[in-house]
Amino acid sequence: MTKEEILNNVKKAVPTTARNSMGCNESWYDPYFAMKEVFTEGELAAMTEQELNNLYKLADKISEALY
């Protein structure tokens, strides 16, 4: 994905009120939401396209593992 696509998807990420069986907010299964919660908009904008893609890949794999 391009840097712009990733940053736009992060901006659009919205939390859900859904909870999993352990009571945790299911928003964290969305890699874009996780990126938005952990990093500021400025920190994400300062990253390279490759760094953002790597970060997304990590967040996506972690969300799969936790689900």
Whether residue 18 lies inside any domain: the answer is: no
Residue pair 17/24 in contact (Cβ under 8 Å)? The answer is no
Enter the DSSP assignment of 19: B
Give 5-52 pLDDT, tens digit per residue.
999 999 999 998 888 888 888 899 999 999 999 999 999 999 999 999
* Domain boundaries, position 38: 3-13+25-66
Whether residue 8 lies inside any domain: the answer is: yes
H or E element that contains 8: helix 3-12
CA distance 49 to 5: 10
Say yes or no to pLDDT of 54 above 90: yes
pLDDT, residue 47, reads: 98
Q: How many domains does the chain have?
A: 1
Whether residue 34 lies inside any domain: the answer is: yes
Sole residue written with tokens 């901006």: 11
Whether residue 19 lies inside any domain: the answer is: no
Enter the DSSP assignment of 24: -
Whether residue 42 lies inside any domain: the answer is: yes
